Amino acid sequence: MFTIDAHLDLSMNALEWNRDLRQPVMAIRQREEGLADKPDRAKGTVSLPALRQGNIGLVVATQIARFVAVDNPLPGWFSPQQAWAQTQGQLAWYKEMEACGEMVMIKDLADLEQHVALWCDNTIANTAKPIGYILSLEGADSIVTLDHLHIAHANGLRAIGPAHYGPGRYANGTDSRGNLNDNGKALLTEMDKLGIVLDATHLCDDAFWDALEIFTGPIWASHNNCRALVNHNRQFSDEMIKALIERGAVIGSALDAWMMVPGWQRGISTPLGKSCGLEKMLNHMDHICQLAGNTQHVGLGTDLDGAFGKEQCPCDLETIADLQKIPAMLTRRGYNSTDVENIMHGNWLRLLRNAWG
């Protein structure tokens, strides 16, 4: 089934992990054997061939670069200008993939419809199809000024998550607290004018409620799970999920193990030891569907290879191509064919068509 993944850090993997994503996953792993600079070396799950193998023809692909103040212990860049330059390098990688025929940017409704038609044409082999990508910014720290926002939009940026981990220049994120500052409010207002999608992922609770009050345009949560199942501020409470449902949002289910099962201990727990398979993600999907009373507000936003690999993703997933196991799993749970299509691609397409129409 044609599949959309609403959150992949492809350029981060290419530039910071030094992965040639044109290669098969196993070739990338083989090249990383013996490296120990990152915990997920030789354990990656994502590449462009694997996306094609899994019929994942459209993704939301990120730029990401955090600014860190002197008192911020998180990794990141020491000035917004450095962060901006990093995201521009990431954009250059996407453009190079376009030049190679590997990817194509999707930035408006005409692009979207043409690309979906191509990927639904079974007379053309997937190996001959470029992976479509919608450009998103995870954490807005690199937007030096609102003029930079306009430059980014002109370059194809179509979604922004104002926060990431910790305190941000525009909004506070995971493991931090506090309302939107004046710059954050101005950013959301300008995003509204430009028609940029608000990604509510990573917003701390205070900033989340501020954002929903200020922002009037299309909203999604590209990669988020449920606090009721795994109690952490990174996850959405039922109240937050219901508010997103009321706004017509879609929530992408993430495949980072610590977000899927309670009690995960980084570096100690294992997916097999915690019985963390794809079914655990479906539990989060089920929870959202029960709150909504339908299947129209959930999709896939896997975050695979988002600074973790096989050591911290479902034990029954070898590469991202294994997302094709999900339709049969949903069917066994009683979801009908329309429900399955909604989850695998339909809900994201509806949101994009409404946003760009």
Q: Map 127-158 to HEC letters.
A: HHCCEEEEEEEECCCCCCCHHHHHHHHHCCEE
Q: What is the CATH number of the domain that holds 308?
A: 3.20.20.140
CA distance 154 to 159: 13
Residue with tokens 């196991």: 325
Question: Confidence band (pLDDT; 50, 70, 90) for 311?
Answer: very high
CA distance 54 to 126: 9
- Its domain, for residue 25, covers 3-356
Across the range 162-177, mean pLDDT stands at: 97
SS (H, E, C) 26-66: HHHHHHHCCCCCCCCCCCCCCCHHHHHHCCEEEEEEEECCC
Q: What is the pTM of this model?
A: 0.98
Tally of domains in the chain? 1
Token readout for 175 is 């493991």
Across the range 190-219, mean pLDDT stands at: 98
DSSP assignment of 244-269 equals HHHTT--EEEP--HHHHSTT--TTT-
Question: Confidence band (pLDDT; 50, 70, 90) for 299?
Answer: very high
Token readout for 239 is 């109240």
Report the amino acid identity of residue 156.
Answer: G
* pLDDT tens-digit map of 46-77: 999 999 999 999 999 999 999 999 999 999 99
Residues 6+ apart with CB under 8 A from 124: 118
